[in-house]
Amino acid sequence: MKAIIIHGWDQKPVDEWLPWLADQLKSKDWEVELPTTPNAAMPKLSEWMDKLLSLDPNEETVLAGHSLSNSLILKYLERVDAKLKSTYLVAAWDYLVPALEQEHITFFENGFDYDAIRDKVPITILQSTNDPYLDFDKGEELAKKINATFLPFENAGHFQTKSGYEEFPKLLELILEESNK
């Protein structure tokens, strides 16, 4: 199996729970990609998409994203040629946050084709009840739009180290369970 784990806006692959998850999967003989996205502070969807495509996701790939990279994953799933085993969206949203319009506009300016995304692959959204940046209810609405499994987490913040997420055992468990199907 292969996993691609993608960091969020203005982050690096060494941040939060991402390197822990990569190490755990590698210890189980997974091929793991933990890419650095281009221009993480002022990202452009086209550049992030090029990076994702260069990693050659396929039917045996699990894609896990954090924060803004979930919008990249949703855009990838709109593609006719998108192929994955499953995907996990940690702290996902599908709307432009006004305070971050300049930084995030290219990810949200054309909206999302929910019909193209829906039922393409198993999708799980993991959302915190007290995310300081995201509206919990809108995360649940997104899950309904794309027929994703929605998993609420009590008081997980934005799933960052400062919220206690240097490790993420539940995400590892979910990935391993789905990969055995």
100-112: per-residue pLDDT in tens? 999 999 999 999 9
Whole-prediction pTM: 0.96
What tokens appear for 175 in the block? Answer: 């990935």
Q: Which tens digits make up the pLDDT trace of 116-172?
A: 999 899 999 999 999 999 999 999 999 999 999 999 999 999 999 999 999 999 999
- For residue 60, the model assigns a pLDDT of 96
Give the 3-state secondary structure of residue 11. Answer: coil
Q: Find out if CATH 3.40.50.1820 is the number for domain 2-179.
A: yes
Distance CA 112, CA 74 (A): 7
Q: What share of the chain is helix, strand, coil (3-state, %, to 5)?
A: 40, 15, 45
Angle between helical axes of 169-179 and 18-26 (0-180°, round to 10): 40
Q: What is the CA radius of gyration of the chain?
A: 15
